[in-house]
Amino acid sequence: MSARTIIDKLWDAHVVGDIDGVSGILYIDRHFVHEVTSPQAFEGLKKRNRKVLRPEKTIATADHNVPTMNQDQKVRDSLSRLQLDTLGVNCREHGVSLFGLGHENNGIVHVIGPELGITQPGMTIVCGDSHTATHGAFGALAFGIGTSQVEMVLASQCLVQSRPKRMRIRLEGKLQKGVGAKDLILYVISRMSTSGATGYFIEYDGPAIRRLTMEERMTVCNMSIEMGARGGLVAPDQTTFDYLEGRSFSPKGKEWDQALEYWKTLPSDRDAVFDREEVFDISDVEPMVTFGTNPGMAIGINGSIPPLRPSFMKSLDYMGFSPGEQLLGRDIDYVFLGSCTNGRIEDLRQFALLVAGKRKADGVTVWIVPGSKQVEKQAVNEGLDRIFAQAGMEFRQPGCSACLAMNDDKIPPGRYAVSTSNRNFEGRQGPGSRTILAGPLTAAAAAITGKISDPRDFI
């Protein structure tokens, strides 16, 4: 067989049948479900008088609209409560495992899949959520789908898909101290633009990627959608295997050995041809911050806002910034550490390292929201919660929180938030909110200074 990319290998291994030479029927190994994009899909099944075909391949969690305080009490917002209850009823009726509010495995869907070992190399993984590419960090073909497609997978364990176009992004060089995976991906998006990868699956490769931990690779893959890609992935290697070994849902014993043998065949063949190749040297990347209302509008922390086309001025007006200005030193009001981009234990550790022994700046509200119950537990075991408390910061309970403000955690109109989440769209964190995307270290520096600051001055 001719040389193939990892994307082709994953695709070929899951095509049940061809439709017209372009589209095919793709089999789905794992389907993650959450409360917001599933009710209409279950309703559709009911109308067709169907059951979930493979409930054992379907895993549900509650994350988008859960409160991040007092999770043991009744959810106050009645609409959110109805969605959460509906998810419970649907899962029970169809025999789907649900890690609901308060469950020890509960958390953001893209945080729990990997940490429990449900996400594995070689799989096709979907979820009614655009950041499903996060799971690609394991060498899986993972992508977000709409609610009609959620219904398709529930009903048939398959999707109609067209064969993906393949792009490889090679990252050369070595990240500087104080610069992390989030800065890396914000840099790549700023170079590619928010639609630069539309229609492609991306394989991230190169020495800079190989050096990243699994959690950092997840941060990178998570934001693939922000350049329009269908998904992004990293071929599995020893880092992947070490991460997965011994996790609750990882294969055990002989099955582990067999799985490992298969996973090692996945990386792209040496001569494999991609439809497009991009190479970036990331040695000079600085901590990155966004200045506009899409994730591609990002600059290095010491840079200034570039001159923009008139169509982008609306975006700057919304943010209250002007071309030529520096962001460094500007006052901010909120800091949010969390989300499926940066709500894992390594993110919390980095943040804690910088704020340990210091106080948050006056007038700044700091929310630290773990991505899952497991992350929360681990943070408490390591004493990070005490560091946060001593710094005057709020350590909350797991959920999507201020990433999309469907819950109580909203940034008020006109206020600035340095946020480790993935989207700075108008109103994303609450109507009128102004979001500056950054990595955990930059967020930590902002929390203690009350200003946009270079984290390298504090480490």
Partner 1 sequence: MPVERFNTLVSGYVPLPVDNIDTDQIIPARFLKETSREGFGKKLFYDWRYLGNGDPNPDFVLNDPGFSGKILVTGKNFGSGSSREHAAWAIYDYGFRVVVAGSFADIFRGNALNTGLLPVEVGSAFIDTMMKALELSPAPRLKVDLENQRIKLMPDGISEGFEIDAYKKNCLLMGYDDIDYLLSRQKEIEKWEKTNKR
- Interacting partner of 43 out of partner 1, ligand SF4, none (Cβ under 5 to 8 A depending on kind): partner 1
**Cβ 383 to partner 1 shortest distance, Å:** 34
- Interacting partner of 209 out of ligand SF4, partner 1, none (Cβ under 5 to 8 A depending on kind): none
Rule CB under 6 A: choose which of 404, 417, 436, 446 binds ligand SF4: 404
Question: For residue 238, what are its two tokens?
Answer: 């020893």
List the helix and strand counts (H, then E) for the chain.
Answer: 16, 19
Judge contact between 173 and 208, C-beta under 8 A: yes
By the rule CB under 8 A, 145 interacts with partner 1: yes
CA triple 122-128-134, angle to 5 deg: 45
- Interacting partner of 108 out of partner 1, ligand SF4, none (Cβ under 5 to 8 A depending on kind): ligand SF4
**Cβ 432 to partner 1 shortest distance, Å:** 8
By the rule CB under 6 A, 142 interacts with ligand SF4: no
DSSP state of 407: S
By the rule CB under 8 A, 431 interacts with partner 1: yes
Task: Decide whether 191 or 210 has the Cβ nearer to partner 1.
Answer: 191
**Cβ 103 to partner 1 shortest distance, Å:** 21
Task: Decide whether 108 or 354 has the Cβ nearer to ligand SF4.
Answer: 108
Helix (H) or strand (E) holding 444: helix 440-449
The contact mask relative to partner 1 for 179-218 (x = CB under 8 A, - = no) is ---------------xx--xx-------------------
Residue 161 DSSP SS3: strand
Give the side-chain half-sphere CA count within 13 A for 324: 0
Instruction: Give the Cα separation of 380 and 74 in Å (integer).
Output: 24
Buried b (16+ CB within 10 A) or exposed e, 380-389: eeeebbebbe
C-alpha R_g of the chain: 21
Instruction: Give the Cα separation of 76 and 188 in Å (integer).
Output: 40
- Interacting partner of 145 out of partner 1, ligand SF4, none (Cβ under 5 to 8 A depending on kind): partner 1
Task: Decide whether 282 or 299 has the Cβ nearer to partner 1.
Answer: 299
Strand ranges across the sheet with 58-61: 97-99, 58-61, 30-34, 124-127, 141-144
By the rule CB under 6 A, 369 interacts with ligand SF4: no
Instruction: Give the Cα separation of 265 and 249 in Å (integer).
Output: 21
Rule CB under 6 A: choose which of 316, 400, 411, 418 binds ligand SF4: 400
**Cβ 152 to partner 1 shortest distance, Å:** 5
By the rule CB under 8 A, 67 interacts with partner 1: no
The contact mask relative to ligand SF4 for 117-136 (x = CB under 6 A, - = no) is ------------x-x-----
Rule CB under 8 A: choose which of 110, 166, 182, 230 binds partner 1: 230
Strand ranges across the sheet with 15-18: 15-18, 23-27, 158-162
Report the candidate in 341, 207, 236, 228 with the shortest Cα–Cα distance to residue 276.
228
Instruction: Give the Cα separation of 351 and 216 in Å (integer).
Output: 14
Which residue is listed with tokens 């550790």? 349
Per CB under 8 A, residues contacting partner 1 are: 13, 16-17, 19-20, 22-23, 25, 27, 29, 36-37, 39-40, 43-44, 47-48, 50, 64-65, 77, 79-80, 82-83, 86, 128-130, 132, 144-149, 151-152, 155-160, 162, 194-195, 198-199, 225, 228, 230, 294, 311, 314, 404-406, 413, 423, 425-428, 431
